[in-house]
Structure 1
């Protein structure tokens, strides 16, 4: 099985820490070098500021054909408007990311911990987003109200996958939910969020899980967001190596 068509592994952003420079090509832009080792990346800068269509197009042209981008939906929509009256902002964002063309793999909707699920507001936005977006959509809610069976059923109906997050704000958040057409693991580092690297045992278990899902034909993404102390690149590289070892045992 071609893992690159099933499992996407990468980090939040494409910086290459000095400790790992010898594991990447020496020439090219940071993104070009990064894309020679990983097949996916999560763009988080879109959360803070817009990027031009031409910027996205330039990024898309810098990576191999099978490489895919996940793009975080802006905080102006999620944290400032709280998903209300955001139609024009969403339209503008989708026009910008269209520069990625077929290399746009995921739109990531990360929600503030205080945002309660409400059918008349948040539910309507999810419907709008799903109608307007051509790419797959994943949602990372953090308020307990989003983990009710009725909300999970709505996400499934809308073909929106719920992120499996670590650390999990509630126990249910540690497992993928919503639409089960794909899994998206977003690993922020634990015990110290954004800083801690993952233990060898944790990475072994992760590789086994990704491999099992790939064997069943379930597309999955694994993005390391523990970037504050440069652990993400090392964890992603180690996961790639482990995944190859695990997969060779059942191919």
Structure 2
């Protein structure tokens, strides 16, 4: 077995009765989740704001080594299309920043219709780096974000290109843009529902073991409860 040097977790910390035996019996769902996993992705921030005191409570509920990835609001990525978002970014930074040193990553998920516009993209990434001292990852879903110029833009901006499954918008080999990886496993063949077969998890383990320390792997196949068992199985492969 290899040594775990990456963050492995799920999109959210809901724990069903089917996985209860793998976690402590006492505490909130987050406290129980964080007793086993060392990272989680907050997707609810994409849909609605959370007060700073909520982020503070979440941070206080987890061990010192635990880290949160927080998804950028859709008002910035999907509604505004990255343009004219300074006020929204300031509000978001005032909220998610309350996680303090528990904030491990800001996740930028872009809509399939959003083609690469270098000016707003560079401005957004620069603004995020000014406000946050953590990993910045981008999951784009338009083919224009996977060409050579986009790869160079992400590298210059210090942004990790998300490796997603299933693949959206591009074919061919995955081209990384930063030393640390960020993997999002949405479920395949049925997105958000399908569990991953043992061999697929073994492939993920082998690939992740070769990545830089501090890389992330998040299971987003939560709709049928597959994320937690898959994340537990992957974590067990690291010993």
**TM-score, normalised to structure 2's length?**
0.95
Query: Helix, strand or coil for the counterpart of 1:153?
Result: helix
Change (3 A) 1:219 1:18: same
Structure 1, unaligned stretches of length 5 or more?
245-251
**Distance across 2 between alignment mates of 1:113 and 1:173:** 18
Report how far residue 94 of structure 1 moved. 0.7
Question: Structure 1 residues 226-235 or 203-212, which shifts more?
Answer: 203-212
1:22 maps to 21
**TM-score, normalised to structure 1's length?**
0.91
1:164 maps to 163
Kept after mapping to 2: 8 A contact 1:165/1:174? no
| Number of residue equivalences | 239
Query: Helix, strand or coil for the counterpart of 1:202?
Result: helix
Greater per-residue helix proportion: 1
Report how far residue 17 of structure 1 moved. 1.7
Kept after mapping to 2: 8 A contact 1:176/1:184? no
* Aligned-residue RMSD, C-alpha: 1.8
**Distance across 1 between alignment mates of 2:172 and 2:110:** 13
**Distance across 2 between alignment mates of 1:30 and 1:123:** 38
1:52 maps to 51
Structure 2, unaligned stretches of length 5 or more?
none
2:229 maps to 234
Kept after mapping to 2: 8 A contact 1:164/1:173? no
Change (3 A) 1:47 1:229: same
**Distance across 2 between alignment mates of 1:76 and 1:60:** 24
Kept after mapping to 1: 8 A contact 2:122/2:157? no
Report how far residue 154 of structure 1 moved. 1.2
Query: Helix, strand or coil for the counterpart of 1:233?
Result: helix
Query: Helix, strand or coil for the counterpart of 1:177?
Result: coil
